[in-house]
Amino acid sequence: MIRAAAFAFAVAFTLPAVAGEAPSNARLAAIAVQYMKDHPPVPGARMEVTAEPMDARLALRPCEGTPTAGIPGGRAMGPRVTVAVTCPDSGGWTMRIPLRVKQFMSVLVTTRPLTRGDGLAADDVHAEERDVASMGYGYIANLGQIEGRALARPLRAGTVLAPGMLAGRQAVHNGDSVTILASIDGISVRAEGVALGSGDNGARVMVRNANSGKVLNAIVRSQGSVEVIQ
């Protein structure tokens, strides 16, 4: 009997409202859910939409016209969305149907701890499917969106990258020719080298001295310029 009742509810939930009938809660919910699926806030996302429980005592007049649906204010982002279902008859009614919405997209997640000023390479992140409807600070879907950017703050492994976590463009890129600055016994020395990492001002990178071939720890000081860490 329980299975039969559940099946009957599922069937009713998927049926559209019929003109001239008094719509049940299940029919109203079905209209709202279908509208949401037909108008995804994030195109291409895998959506899961469920209606919140409604007052079982609800009784509406029959609707001669075909009920329509829409989102008040046009705002559909977030894990909770309200869809208004309206009867177009003269003196008709409008019901607001609360929905829970999940939108799954592939986003970039850090694979290891990263420090402020670090540039991001392919091995620093990996793709995971996450519910982006609950990500109020946004997300980043691919490396092309952050090319040349550095981190504005340190991040733990497993952090979903968001636009607000990024600083300006990197001052040094992996493979760039750089000027290596060093201070030896109070004397400033300059040498030419090659960056073995990427980063913004203040980021730590490895560099190779072009003359000696020695690999050194350095800090990015400006565009194309690094200072050796003693």
Which amino acid type is present at position 51? A
pLDDT band at 205 (very low <50, low <70, confident <90, very high): confident
CATH (domain of 215): 2.30.30.760
Question: Which CA distances in Å does 176 have to 192, 208, 224?
Answer: 11, 11, 7
Domain boundary among 77, 102, 127: 102
Most confident range, picked from 2-16, 107-121, 159-173: 107-121
216 and 150 housed in the same domain: no
Statement to judge: residues 92 and 116 lie in one domain: no
Q: Same domain, yes or no, for 91 and 129? A: no
Q: What is the per-residue pLDDT for 77?
A: 66
Q: If pLDDT is split at 50, 70 and 90, which confidence band does 17 have?
A: very low
In the block, residue with structure tokens 């009614």: 93
pLDDT band, residue 137 (cuts 50/70/90): confident
Domain identity same for 77 and 111:
no
Q: Which domain holds residue 165?
A: 104-169
Domains: count for the chain: 3
pTM over 0.85: no
